[in-house]
Amino acid sequence: RSEYAAVTLEQLLSHSSGLTDDTLVNVANLHSYFESTAPVTEARQRASAAALAVAPKSAPGTAYEYANVNYVVAAAALEHLTGQTWETLMRERLFTPLGMTSAGFGVPGTPGKVDAPWGHGQAPVEPGPTSDLPPVIAPAGCVHANLDDLIRYLTVYFDNGKLPSGAALVSEAALAEIERPRLPVPGSTASYALGWGVASRPHGTTLAHSGSNLRFLAYFYVVPSTRSALIFLTNRGEADAEAHVAALSRYFVAHFDL
């Protein structure tokens, strides 16, 4: 639709494009992509086209509306521009430079084996093709990594975008843009930056985000100025698990004076 003609990458990554996840679930028919045999790049282009054919909920750039489809559209644009899959870009530009050898896509573990924690719904869910969200939506949160590799990732925020070697993974200017707040999050004291909820606290700027595929849950609370972070991981992802993790995070934030 013409309303999206001027939408920017910044608006997609800050959830202010006007897109909503209703288009991904009900219009693009997200779960039908489990049966898709098309290359993942074609699937993301098709899902993006379906989402962009629906009128925006708000004028682009005017309101915050968290929607995973923003990151699907952003990934589809990168795939179109680079000729590489989002997965390849992630491996080459993030996992490999940081030495994140455990990082991958979909749920951890090997089908038929118990070599990693299984996610839980009402019961344990064995790793398999349908035990995570469809690969089409992977850019919105289908990466797994162990705790050591998550710490490697967060050091980028502690070290002004630099790798342990001192080389720059991202420039300080780019990192500042990632952390810069845009629109306020309704019902919260935080605003949204690019992939992070951002709040100003007495100890400095905090970055926070949670994510779940309804079988696993991850929550990050990061304070770059004090080189500290809280990482919560659980292999349950339903609403009550999220409530418990949120309560636990509040306790640790207070206990450690974060």
Q: What is the DSSP string of 147-189?
A: HHHHHHHHHHHHTTTB-TTS-BSS-HHHHHHHHS--SBPTTSS
The CA-atom distances, in angstroms, between 42 and each of 33, 38, 62, 227, 229 are: 11, 6, 30, 40, 37
Mean pLDDT of 19-48: 83
Structure confidence at residue 151 as a pLDDT band (50, 70, 90): very high
Mean pLDDT of 119-132: 89
What SS3 class is residue 26? helix
> What's the pLDDT at 256?
82
Mean pLDDT of 159-185: 95
> What's the pLDDT at 204?
85
> What's the pLDDT at 26?
67
> What's the pLDDT at 22?
85
Listed in sequence order, the residues at least 6 apart from 62 whose beta carbon sits closer than 8 Å to its beta carbon are 16, 18
Structure confidence at residue 27 as a pLDDT band (50, 70, 90): low
Mean pLDDT of 71-83: 97
Mean confidence (pLDDT) of the chain = 92
The span from the CA of 91 to the CA of 36, in Å, is 23
* 97 token code pair: 């430079």
Listed in sequence order, the residues at least 6 apart from 92 whose beta carbon sits closer than 8 Å to its beta carbon are 84
* 190 token code pair: 């935080």
* 115 token code pair: 């070599």
Q: For residue 153, which of 257, 217, 224, 225 has the smallest C-alpha distance?
A: 224
Listed in sequence order, the residues at least 6 apart from 57 whose beta carbon sits closer than 8 Å to its beta carbon are 18, 19, 20, 63, 65
Mean pLDDT of 66-70: 95
The span from the CA of 247 to the CA of 87, in Å, is 33
pTM of the full predicted structure?
0.93
Partner residues linked to 125 by β-bridges? 119
Partner residues linked to 232 by β-bridges? 219
Q: Would you say how long the chain is, in residues?
A: 258
> What's the pLDDT at 254?
85
What is the Cα gyration radius of the chain? Answer: 18
* 243 token code pair: 């409530």
Angle between helices 69-82 and 40-52 (to 10 degrees): 130
The span from the CA of 36 to the CA of 11, in Å, is 29
The span from the CA of 54 to the CA of 23, in Å, is 7
Q: Residue 234 is which amino acid?
A: T
> What's the pLDDT at 257?
76
Least confident range of 15-29, 102-116, 219-233: 15-29
